[in-house]
Structure 1
Amino acid sequence: MNPLRVRIVGGSVGGLFAAALLRQQGHDVRLYERSTGGLAGRGAGLVGQRDLFDLLRAVGCERVAQVGVVAWERIFLNRAGGIDHRQKTPQTQISWDHLYRTMRGKVADAEYELGRAVRAVEQDEGSARLLFEDGAVEEADLVIGADGLGSVVRTAVVGDRSANRYAGYVAWRGLVPEGELPEAAAMLLERFAFYDMPRSHALGYLVAGPGAETEAGARRYNWVWYRPIAEADLPAVLTDAEGRRHPFSLAPGQMPRDVAERLRRDAADQLPPPFAAAVAAEPRPFLQAIFDYEAPEMALGRVALLGDAAFVVRPHTAMGVAKAAGDAMTLHRQLTRHDRVPDALQAYNRERHPAGAAVAAYGRRLGATLE
């Protein structure tokens, strides 16, 4: 296929995966990210999967998979904080931040624009067009929607069938520097820890430091507490300290102080002491509401969806990044096999839609007890 003008909406790892592969193929690639400050520092750890390893190998970055923290066993706590069960299943948590920075380095600064919000995508037989919030319009041969849960590109592919469905629960989260973790939580280190209760689930593990540090003392402890929230109460839960309502999540520092204090009290009342101590040590907890979405199609004409823009999968699967990598690899491969963009995108859809649907279904099964 001749070089294409490829425009990618969304500058997180999914968009960067596609950009790195398509730049190697000789295409004119540009990414537009709506956030103004960039995405570095927003991630914790991720589980490596085959599709991610394959992509890193394809772009010459296999070393990224070697930067992580090993949890040497899994432990399942009881309410008193004792260990009811343990499994010798070592697992490495790869650094999301290091992965993002490495992939970002594959794209020139002039090809990655921050603060450029796309409000819609249109297309006809000959081209696709990005319509920006500032009134600008840009034509492309191929538009890739890698803009995640709140995708604006979906509508160009699936019309009015683009709404996410709330799953009935949220993830309260924290990322505590290892040196600030109290002694009461020390037993959680070097392990993947779990605690189950009716319609609720807590877990935690060590991840690399913000600069990909993996030595003891420089790492961070990542904890997650899944709890049910009625849909009618969700708007209030997603209102930040300044009274602004957010559609999907609250970032560190946005949670109202009284809500964070109530979270700590609830943790002390309901979680094993080590987990309660880890929650108490987080000064700026954050929040992620859990949603589902399955696109009926992943592509139409000259527009393709990738990653969470196509299938929002629940975090229990630990497969979101790997799924985005698989999407990017398949899209790249189909563009090399076909002379026409619409033909390549239909082949992409045929191959990846069943894979996305399978991961989404797996996530719903894992989260069924929390709904």
Structure 2
Amino acid sequence: MVDSYKGLRAAVVGGSIGGLTSALLLRGLGFTVDVYERTPTPLENRGGGIVLQPTTMKWFGERSAHRIEELSTVTHHVRYLGKGNDVLHDDPVEWRYSSWSTIYRSLLDDFGTDRYHLGEFCAGFDQDADSVTLRFVSGRSERADLVVFADGITSTARRRMFPKLQRLYSGYVGWRGTVPERHVSEETRRLLGDALTYSVARDAHIVLYPIPGLDGGLQEGQRLLNYVWYRNVPDGPPLHELTTDLRGFDCPVSVHPGQVQRRYVDEMRAAAEELLAPAAAETVLRTEQPYLQVVFDTRIPAMAEGRVAIIGDAAFAARPHAAAGTAKAADDAWTLYEHLSTAGGDIPSALKRWEPAQLQLGNQLIDRVAEMGHRSQVAGTWTPGDPDLRFGLYGPGV
């Protein structure tokens, strides 16, 4: 019950979409909630598009001041294009999309900034039976009755609890980017504007869809075309060289827009013209600052310890093939909320009951996206229209 948590403090480490969803739900239970985000400035323009699965949209459908229809685009087809822009397969399937920044800004607007603390990197923590103590590199120390770590793939909690746990490189990277819809040809707008679109090549595939424009525009011509293009890169020196940015810094997780070495951008663009359907290639070629995401599998053997919970990418970082990373973080937050709401104030007991199903869901998701990646990047069995390849957190299409 909500009254069980009045007067108690919850701390959320990580102020991204998963962290903010968790913070909003915990506040609804009566907790006083503080969010601690490591970056010193608001998380604007981080990442590109996201597919809005039902769990991701649940907050906006039930509790937000914002309507999801005002934050997202929609398409009505899943389409595969051949080398000459010929349509190899077309299914009447509806999907809704937004940009990372749009969803982040809306959640932060719902939460407010009074208890959203920027520039606070949590370096360690301890807990006893009654509370958790967080320590920050700034010298700050905070105590809370419940701590949720939503601090992503480099999570402090995961490193602290499982110091030998390693990310498993998939064997490929995702080239990402966006381009204003008005900057591509009429034929490309016609093919991509109302579809989740694939172009498949040997050991590679690209997926494209329209997302809100930088100013939030949702109408055709105002939107951005967003894509992820998966390309194989051997582990070791080739990957390390690719992920060394223009400053000479090693970037093992992602290389940000404007920081990818020019020689790699030039090679990628040449390959797009050779390998992809013309509409997909045009979108890639017209992207001013493409960037890189290294694709990993990350699993965790436990998501709860005492009064500490680990959610989202901090626990399971799934390859993007099922478009379920943001949905998994939201599902972790909602199910934690549901278990706490019936726990009568017993936080450790609620976390123990919450953990098993979320571990199972995370492992099932990793297994499925790893198989999807193998089919596209290794086996060459990514077949247009195969229903097993559809997006979904809980399974293909769901």
Aligned-pair distance for 1:184? 6.2
Partner SS, residue 283 of structure 1: coil
- Structure 1 CA distance for aligned equivalents of residues 162 and 321 of structure 2: 29
CA root-mean-square deviation: 1.9
User: Which amino acid is 1:80 matched to?
Assistant: G
Which of the numbers 64, 70, 77 marks the counterpart of 1:73?
77
Q: Normalising to structure 1: TM-score of the pair? A: 0.93
> Is 1:179 aligned to residue 182 of structure 2?
yes
Matches within 5 A, 1:106-185: 106-156=110-160, 158-183=161-186, 185=188
Following superposition, the deviation at residue 173 of structure 1 comes to 1.0
8 A Cα contact 1:170 1:226, kept in partner: yes
Q: Which residue of 2 aligns with 1:344?
A: 350
The separation in 1 between residues aligned to 2:333 and 2:111, in whole angstroms, is 15
Identity percentage of aligned residues = 34
CA distance in 2, matches of 1:155, 1:302: 17
What residue ranges of structure 2 are gaps of 5+ in the alignment? 379-398
Q: 1:201 to 1:211 in 2, by over 3 A?
A: same
Map of 1:359 onto structure 2: 365
Q: Tell me which residue corresponds to 1:303.
A: 308
User: In 1, Cα distance between the equivalents of 2:65 and 2:319?
Assistant: 27
Aligned partner letter, 2:278: P
Quote how far apart the aligned CAs of 1:160 are. 2.1
- Paired amino acid for 1:283: E
Q: Distance in 2 between matches of 1:262 and 1:167?
A: 21
1:45 Cα deviation after fit? 3.3
What displacement does 1:362 show? Answer: 1.8
- What's the counterpart of residue 226 of structure 2? 222
SS state of the match for residue 55, structure 2?
helix
Per-residue CA deviation, residues 161-184 of structure 1 (Å, 9 max, x unaligned), is 432111111100111011222456
Looking at structure 1, the residues matched to 112 and 85 of structure 2 have their Cα atoms a distance apart, in angstroms, of: 49
Question: Which of structure 1's runs of 4+ aligned residues deviate more than 4 A?
Answer: none
Contact 1:97/1:212 (8 A) holds in 2:
no
Does structure 1 conserve the Cα–Cα contact (< 8 Å) formed by 2:125 and 2:135?
yes
Change (3 A) 1:239 1:182: farther
Alpha-carbon distance in structure 1 between the residues aligned to 2:341 and 2:131: 19
1:59 aligned residue:
63
1:245 is the counterpart of 2:250? yes
Equivalent residues of 2:48, 2:176 under 8 A apart: no
Q: CA deviation at 1:30?
A: 0.8
TM-score, normalised to structure 2, is 0.87
| CA offsets 1:264-321 (integer angstroms, 9 cap, x no match) | 1121222222222111101100110111111111100111001111111111111112
Instruction: Tell whether 2:284 aligns with 1:279.
Output: yes
1:312 and 2:323 matched: no
Q: Which one-letter code corresponds to 1:144 in the other structure?
A: V
Q: Structure 1: how far apart are the matches of 2:249 and 2:233?
A: 19
Cα distance in 2 for partners of 1:344, 1:65 equals 34
Residue in 2 that maps onto 1:322:
327
Which residue of 2 is the match for residue 202 of structure 1? 206
Deviation at 1:18, TM superposition (A): 0.6
SS across alignment from 2:210: strand
Give the Cα–Cα distance (whole angstroms) in 2 for the partners of residues 60 and 270 of structure 1.
43
SS of the aligned residue for 1:242 comes to coil
Q: Which AA in structure 2 matches 1:67?
A: L
Between 1:266-275 and 1:18-27, the stretch displaced more is: 266-275
Q: CA deviation at 1:343?
A: 1.0
Distance 1:191 1:319 in 2: 19
Tell me, in whole angstroms, the C-alpha distance in 2 between the residues paired with 1:346 and 1:120: 22
Q: Distance in 1 between matches of 2:162 and 2:207?
A: 38
Inter-CA distance 68–13: structure 2 relative to 1 (3 Å threshold):
same
Equivalent residues of 1:195, 1:203 under 8 A apart: yes
The CA deviation string for residues 49-70 of structure 1, in whole angstroms up to 9 with x for no partner, is 3323433344235712553222
Contact 2:152–2:313 under 8 Å retained in 1: yes
Offset, 1:247: 2.1
Match for 1:357: what amino acid?
N
Cα gap change, 1:247/1:122 in structure 2, threshold over 3 Å: closer, same or farther?
A: farther
Deviation at 1:71, TM superposition (A): 2.1
Deviation at 1:210, TM superposition (A): 2.0
Question: For the Cα contact (< 8 Å) 1:316–1:367, is it kept in 2?
Answer: yes
3-state SS of paired residue (1:104): helix
- Are 2:52 and 2:95, in contact at CA under 8 Å, matched by a contact in 1? no
